[in-house]
Amino acid sequence: MGQQAVKIGAMIEPSLDALGYELVGVEYTAQGKHSLLRIYIDTEEGVDVNDCQKASQQISGVLDVEEPLSGQYTLEVSSPGIERPLFTAAHFERFAGERAEVRMHTPIDGQRKFVGQLAGVEDNKVLLNLENEESISLSLVDIDKAKLKPEW
């Protein structure tokens, strides 16, 4: 998560906790009038449209008071879905054994995207068993985006 997303996450997490929702992560894409603030929430039982609407109203209230973003943006509250985004070391640990796609900020040996089975986290590095039988260690701070990638 970017600096702005981390700040917003810290701002809204207590309100979401009070409603019984887990804050999975925050994505903020600044694009002028078309900026997008996407908040992922979840519960043990999953979330539906009503949960997203309820959380959206709560988040909007907090953001209206705190005003962390200038200008226009669209707020989207969503379930993490089947291709759940992974934001923290705890997420990578929790889904060890699952298939994931990880995109890096900068290429490693000319490659930015890696797909394989998560094998946990060690020393702030995500361990990934690649589909070609090799393993790679990816620095958490250098990960641009990551998500579960179930096989179909």
Summarize pLDDT for 2-52 with one digit per residue, the tens: 788 889 999 999 999 999 999 999 999 988 888 999 999 999 999 999 999
- The residue behind tokens 């409603």 is 19
Q: What is the mean pLDDT of residues 123-150?
A: 94
Tell me if residue 136 falls in helix, strand or coil. strand
Domains of the chain in start order, with CATH, are 3-78 (3.30.300.70), 89-148 (2.30.30.180)
| Beta carbons of 126 and 98 less than 8 angstroms apart | no
**Sequence letter at residue 5:** A
Summarize pLDDT for 101-117 with one digit per residue, the tens: 999 999 999 999 999 99
Listed residue (28, 25, 17, 26) closest to 58, CA to CA = 17
Q: Is 110 exposed, middle or buried (0-12, 13-18, 19+ CB in 10 A)?
A: exposed
Summarize pLDDT for 48-93 with one digit per residue, the tens: 999 999 999 999 999 999 888 888 899 999 999 999 999 999 999 9
**CA-based angle 79:16:66, to the nearest 5?**
115
